């Protein structure tokens, strides 16, 4: 069965044709529970997100800040398995018809088996994977199987990436390029920073792939700012924090749905 890379491409193209950025949400699978996490992913998609990244919680999340680390720890303590991640992808996509990617470090895929992981992700209706710690020069095996199963391979670029390195990374990727707005880990911040706009400009010089910006965006005003120069706005920690801070799960679902709506207005310039 083929994955949904075409749906991802079409969704990003549709947002561009509307003269706006796409809103991409991130939530880890298994948080606060497997069923609760599926409900949360559906809520952000129903609230206005165009695309969602489902995180595969990992015991050593080098890119993730304290908010997502806390959520990952809750999921792992709850016994989360890769099968639960696949179920999250399957049910979220089936319920909404929207593109669902998995964001994961390389070690869990390597241990699980690349062929098995890509085949199962495609079967679940997944659109691809974001692989923040997989070096491009070591990615041939992954890309071979991802291509075979119709999955996007999204690499991460950072402000420290030299132009030659950007060209190497973007040539190997598909779907979109994940531009980390600043050096450091995920988390909400007061401002996204000027480094992001420069990184998008330099990345676009190397590729026709959409360039989507993440790390630091937490409200509609910031989403509107980033949407002024990026093809997509990626928001993660703000959604997770809403779930962590909510008095109960129902309130958390309401909060993330509302935040998705606010951010969706932001990327449309309505904030």
Catalytic residue ranges: 53, 64
Q: Which one, of 63, 8, 67, 26, lies nearest residue 256 by Cα?
A: 26
């Amino acid at each position: 069965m083929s994955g949904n890379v075409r749906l991802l491409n079409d969704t990003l193209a549709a947002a561009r044709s509307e003269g706006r950025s796409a809103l991409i949400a991130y939530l880890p699978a298994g948080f606060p529970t497997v069923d609760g996490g599926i409900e949360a992913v559906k809520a952000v998609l129903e609230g206005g997100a165009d695309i969602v990244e489902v995180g595969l919680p990992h015991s050593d999340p080098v890119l993730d800040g304290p908010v997502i680390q806390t959520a990952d720890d809750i999921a792992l303590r709850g016994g989360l398995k890769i099968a639960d991640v696949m179920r999250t992808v399957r049910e979220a996509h089936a319920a909404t018809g929207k593109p669902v990617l998995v964001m994961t470090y390389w070690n869990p895929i390597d241990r699980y088996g690349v062929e098995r992981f890509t085949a199962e992700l495609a079967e679940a209706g997944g659109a691809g994977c974001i692989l923040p710690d997989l070096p491009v020069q070591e990615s041939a095996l992954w890309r071979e199987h991802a291509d075979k199963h119709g999955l996007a391979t999204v690499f991460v670029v950072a402000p420290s990436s030299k132009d030659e390195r950007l060209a190497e990374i973007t040539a190997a990727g598909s779907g979109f390029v994940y531009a980390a707005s600043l050096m450091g880990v995920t988390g909400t911040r007061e401002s996204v920073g000027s480094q992001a706009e420069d990184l998008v400009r330099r990345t676009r010089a190397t590729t026709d792939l959409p360039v989507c910006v993440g790390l630091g965006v937490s409200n509609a005003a910031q989403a509107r700012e980033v949407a002024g120069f990026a093809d997509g706005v990626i928001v993660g920690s703000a959604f997770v924090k809403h779930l962590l801070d909510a008095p109960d799960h129902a309130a958390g679902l309401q909060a993330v749905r509302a935040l998705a709506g606010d951010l969706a207005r932001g990327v449309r310039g309505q904030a």
